[in-house]
A = this chain, B = another copy of it.
Amino acid sequence: MKIAILGGDGFCGWPTTLHLSARGHDVVVVDNFSRRAIGEELGAESLTPIRSLAERRAAWEELTGRSVGFAGIDLARDYEAFLDLLVTERPDAVVHFAEQRAAPFSMKSPRHKRYTVDNNLNATHNVLAAVVESELDVHVVHLGTMGVYGYGTAGMRIPEGYLDVEVPGEGGGVAQQILYPSNPGSIYHMTKVLDQTLFAFYAKNDRLRITDLHQGIIWGTNTRETGLDERLVNRFDYDGDYGTVLNRFLMQAAVGHPLTVHGTGGQTRAFIHIQDMVRCVELALLHAPARGERVKIFNQMTETHRVRDLARLVAELTGAQVETVPNPRQESPENDLHVVHDAFLDLGLRPTTLSEGLLLEVEQTATRWAHRADLSRIPATSLWTRERRAGIPASRTGAAPVGA
């Protein structure tokens, strides 16, 4: 299969690129290096010493004899260049990771909010409009997030994409199937809701074949391929903006800092190991919807955990202390989360569980590279709302509880 990986230099894009290349697909990376530029802006480097894309590609070719193509395109701005790429390369599929993907970054300031909306929406819409204009039957696989649903409601059971409802009609209720209702907790998550709306429209109006992967929080750093050689190492972010909760705990443990849990740590989140993520992307590519079918939605996660239970797990493995700090997010302090995720299991996914993979991650990434850590970058500094910035707790603002 010929596949363009949009955002192929990023945290998810790079291991996906190598996995698909290793599996025999013909892969071209499309990237504008915005993630590296944002790292410069934040003064926050990857813990792991990632190489330039040119060096990565050369190392991969040297090791495996497989070459990976590259096109430097800003998808939100360079529509014509992307259309040219489609028409010239004629890919069977594009995998679209090319969005600003950190919720805290999206909430830092009006500029960061505006960048995230402008960049993510125009990138997604340009991809869809270009596929239509190319007149090619390109399968669009997009990395979405479980976070489109929010985590506000106790006992919710999140299906894979769609919900049967009854709308009022003149002669009684009328059955409809709708996208599962969204409740995004940040500007970033909101852009993924906007993406869903674009996908539903283009699948219906232009009969594009689209798969949306509603992903949980990734943990783990390397896959089989990125672990082959130090020049292929994947990025590991632990700063307050891009570091996910587990990475932050791992780093804190590795440098002897207490694990900082936001609020009660009662927030339940969905997780998936990075090795499973790349497998899921290939499974999605191999099981595309038919033309004229609705958007295919997978819940791309394998287990759920409360944040405080994760902290306890890491503490047990490493001997670290656990400490609670105020929650910068506008959300309910405790929530349950039940996620239907049968589709990938049915397609043969065998998940890597936290209990079996976590120790390796502690040893091979966090401890190994701890000497490169800049501890000042760990705390979250983005505050979600005016009230949060003024130090007023969520319980006094009267706002609806939301997830992030």
Residue numbers of A with Cβ under 8 A of B are 79, 83, 110, 113-114, 117-118, 121-122, 125-126, 129-130, 132-133, 135, 153-157, 159, 163, 165-171, 174, 176, 178-182, 184-187, 190, 193-194, 197-198, 201, 204-207, 292, 294, 330, 336, 338, 384-387, 397-400, 402
Q: Which of B113, B181, B186, B194 contacts A178 (CB 8 A)?
A: B181
With A117-B125, A174-B153, A201-B184 already in contact, the answer to whether A132 and B167 are too (CB < 8 A) is: no
The smallest C-beta distance from A173 to any residue of chain B, in angstroms, reads 10
Q: Which of B122, B165, B187 contacts A181 (CB 8 A)?
A: B165
Q: Do A157 and B178 have beta carbons less than 8 Å apart?
A: no
Q: Which of B110, B114, B121, B384 contacts A205 (CB 8 A)?
A: B384
Q: Do B110 and A130 have beta carbons less than 8 Å apart?
A: yes
* A226 vs B330: C-alpha distance when bound (angstroms): 46
Q: Copies of this chain, how many?
A: 2
With A132-B386, A167-B180 already in contact, the answer to whether A398 and B205 are too (CB < 8 A) is: no
Q: Do A197 and B193 have beta carbons less than 8 Å apart?
A: yes
B-chain residues with CB within 8 Å of residue A179 when the two chains form the complex: 181
Q: Do A157 and B153 have beta carbons less than 8 Å apart?
A: no
* A186 vs B205: C-alpha distance when bound (angstroms): 8
B-chain residues with CB within 8 Å of residue A114 when the two chains form the complex: 79, 122, 125-126, 129
B-chain residues with CB within 8 Å of residue A204 when the two chains form the complex: 330, 399-400, 402
Q: Do A205 and B399 have beta carbons less than 8 Å apart?
A: yes
- Among A126, A130, A384, residue most surrounded by chain B Cβ atoms (within 10 Å): A126
The smallest C-beta distance from A268 to any residue of chain B, in angstroms, reads 12
* A338 vs B169: C-alpha distance when bound (angstroms): 8
Q: Which of B129, B135, B168, B385 contacts A113 (CB 8 A)?
A: B129
Q: Which of B110, B197, B206, B336 contacts A132 (CB 8 A)?
A: B110
Task: Give 25 A-B contacts (CB < 8 Å), ordered by A residue.
Answer: A79-B110, A113-B125, A113-B129, A114-B122, A114-B126, A114-B129, A118-B118, A118-B121, A118-B125, A121-B121, A121-B194, A135-B386, A153-B167, A155-B170, A157-B170, A159-B168, A163-B167, A170-B336, A184-B201, A185-B205, A204-B402, A205-B385, A207-B397, A207-B399, A292-B398
* A182 vs B201: C-alpha distance when bound (angstroms): 10
* A113 vs B387: C-alpha distance when bound (angstroms): 38
* A399 vs B203: C-alpha distance when bound (angstroms): 9
Q: A121-B194, A157-B170, A204-B400 are in contact. List 11 more A-B contacts (CB 8 A).
A: A83-B110, A113-B129, A153-B167, A153-B169, A153-B176, A154-B169, A155-B174, A165-B166, A190-B197, A206-B385, A207-B387
* A174 vs B154: C-alpha distance when bound (angstroms): 8
The smallest C-beta distance from A267 to any residue of chain B, in angstroms, reads 17
B-chain residues with CB within 8 Å of residue A157 when the two chains form the complex: 167-170
Q: Do A171 and B190 have beta carbons less than 8 Å apart?
A: no
The smallest C-beta distance from A10 to any residue of chain B, in angstroms, reads 23
